[in-house]
Structure 1
Amino acid sequence: MSQLVAPRRAAAALVTAALLVPLAACGNGDSKKSEGAGKTAGSAKTELTVLAASSLTDVFKKAGAVYEKEHQGTKVNFSFAGSQELAAQVKQGAPADALVTADTKTMDGLKADAGTPTVIAKNRLVIATGEGNPKKINGLKDLADSKLKVVLAASEVPVGRYGKQVLDAQKIKVKPVSQEPNVRAVLSKVELGEADAGLVYRTDAATATKKVDAVEIPDAQNAVASYPAATLKTSKNAAAAAAFVKWLSTPEAQKILQGAGFQKP
């Protein structure tokens, strides 16, 4: 009997060892998966959705790229539209983190939805005409000519409200061929030759110098557009949203804005 015990013990030991090998392998695999999962989680970026007025389209794309480069853990996604459209989206609960409008009136109407706003830039109106100003438009009074095809933004749009303000102040009556939902739509009509002239922001005309000319409006006859920025109370990234809004007032961001033609806040 004693001669059989040793072989049996040896066999049992071999079986046990054989069973432990795959278990060890499984343990190593789980460990690697865990490490991989940790790396993925660590590399995940905070994504911000910023609702911004149409007139900020070009400059914000540039500013966003600079911000992302400086803040490697944050990606900024912009949604551009007329300020009144953006306000409607906010009231309807659209998922977003921050808002920048082209007027204080629209922002003031969102006190229940947004944090304390900060004005980050200002702008002024110009008369956009076809390249070379073929209709020889020299000022606001020329827009009253019934032979001209003039396009304006709708009155509920900030640039449309500013346009009405300056025209009314000069007692100039204009019958627009269309009223557009945002400033970029007005600019597009002039670019495409579907209108002879339109009231747009100075910065918008500057984005299309190869297709339109800009006729300056004297300051005494002009209106100043203010751009307030604020975080949204429904943001799921409150700290990151606040950081971006704050950055818009920094010297670096202001340099980008003013380089695009916007005025100091």
Structure 2
Amino acid sequence: MSTRTPARTPARTPARTPARTPARRLVVACSAVLALGLGAAACGSSSSSSSSSSASSSSTPAASGPAKASGTVTVFAAASLKETFTDLGKKFEAANPGSKVTFNFGGSSSLATSINSGAPADVFAAASPATMKTVTDAGGAGGQATTFVKNTLTIAVPKGNPKHVAGLKDLTAPGVKVALCAKEVPCGAAALTALKAADLQLTPVTLEQDVKGALTKVELGEVDASLVYKTDVKADAAKIDGVDFPEAAKAVNDYPIAALAKAPNKNGAAAFVAYITSPEAQQVLTAAGFQAP
């Protein structure tokens, strides 16, 4: 009796399972979690964490803000800025621990001459673009100067206005002694512009090298009037009265500020210029009588 060997059936090749990508594995895992009733929070957290990790590994670090100023910042500034800049200097120091602002106030033209002669300074704030130009033309400015305020002339007289000065023409009356700034100084150039607009000629008894000098002559009673800025009269309102005149509109001075090319403290210079043009500083300046640029 012969033995029959059963026919051999062909072996079946198992179906190939597609390779699972990381995203597919995540979907499968999430499905399992949801089936167990554990909620979707874990899946969302895992996905977010994965995306965040991927983004941080492929992106560059975010740029940091400007560095805080430190060390001494030396500022050469027009005399008419003395009160406001002294105040702003203290605020700047408070906002930049470790910094110290020192000021040299004076006539803009003499300050510009000092800077061009090599005087160590970080920032220059002038009372006119023409004065700033003498520094920029000599290569003294480290960048473009920015106009940060404007200022207008007024007539300073002693309290009570004993000579009854009502306008520019009254300054030419016999017996009225007047102090002006020298023509090289921005307040002197502005005074000449205003007098020309009024078609007047005036012979002052003294020519001062900065606006504070002209104002002091009135305070001391050495003159009956002087042409100064509105901000100077406002700062000295306890001793001085101001008389506005229409021709002042023809002699408005722009005040530019710039970090200097040879600034010993370049970071401090840039930070101070940025602060002076900030809304906080502008509020202080306009409250003192300056006009917005």
TM-score (norm 1): 0.82
> 1:116, 1:73 → 2: CA distance?
27
Q: Give the gaps of 5 or more residues in structure 1.
A: 1-43
Equivalent residues of 2:77, 2:103 under 8 A apart:
yes
SS of residue matched to 2:175 = coil
Question: After superposition, where does 1:169-188 map in structure 2 within 5 Å?
Answer: 169-188=197-216
What letter is aligned with 2:157? T
1:57-98, Cα deviation, whole Å (9 max, x unpaired): 001000111111011121111110000010011011001101
Residue of 43, 47, 53 corresponding to 2:78: 53
In the TM superposition, residue 173 of structure 1 has moved relative to its aligned partner by 1.1
> 2:247, 2:174 → 1: CA distance?
25
Give the structure with the higher percent helix: 1
In the TM superposition, residue 227 of structure 1 has moved relative to its aligned partner by 0.6
- Residue 157 of structure 2 is matched in structure 1 by 129
In the TM superposition, residue 138 of structure 1 has moved relative to its aligned partner by 0.2
What letter is aligned with 1:92? S
Equivalent residues of 1:170, 1:221 under 8 A apart:
no
Task: Note the aligned Cα RMSD (angstroms).
Answer: 1.3
Q: In the comparison of the two structures, how many residue pairs are matched?
A: 222
1:166-192, Cα deviation, whole Å (9 max, x unpaired): 101111111100000000000000011
- Residue 165 of structure 1 is matched in structure 2 by 193
> 2:159, 2:279 → 1: CA distance?
34
1:16-36, Cα deviation, whole Å (9 max, x unpaired): xxxxxxxxxxxxxxxxxxxxx
Equivalent residues of 2:151, 2:254 under 8 A apart:
yes
What letter is aligned with 1:144? T
Identity of aligned residues (%): 45
1:85 aligns with 2:113: no
Equivalent residues of 1:159, 1:182 under 8 A apart:
yes
What letter is aligned with 2:82? T
Question: After superposition, where does 1:12-161 map in structure 2 within 5 Å?
Answer: 45-111=70-136, 112-114=139-141, 115-161=143-189
- Residue 258 of structure 2 is matched in structure 1 by 230
1:249 aligns with 2:277: yes
Equivalent residues of 2:128, 2:186 under 8 A apart:
yes
> 1:245, 1:221 → 2: CA distance?
27
- Residue 196 of structure 1 is matched in structure 2 by 224
What letter is aligned with 1:192? L
What letter is aligned with 1:247? Y
In the TM superposition, residue 247 of structure 1 has moved relative to its aligned partner by 1.2
Q: Give the gaps of 5 or more residues in structure 2.
A: 1-68
Bigger Rg, which one: 2
1:205-260, Cα deviation, whole Å (9 max, x unpaired): 11111211100122675411111000111112112201110111111000110111
> 2:242, 2:254 → 1: CA distance?
20
What letter is aligned with 2:122? D
Q: 1:120 to 1:202 in 2, by over 3 A?
A: same
What letter is aligned with 1:87? A
> 1:193, 1:151 → 2: CA distance?
11
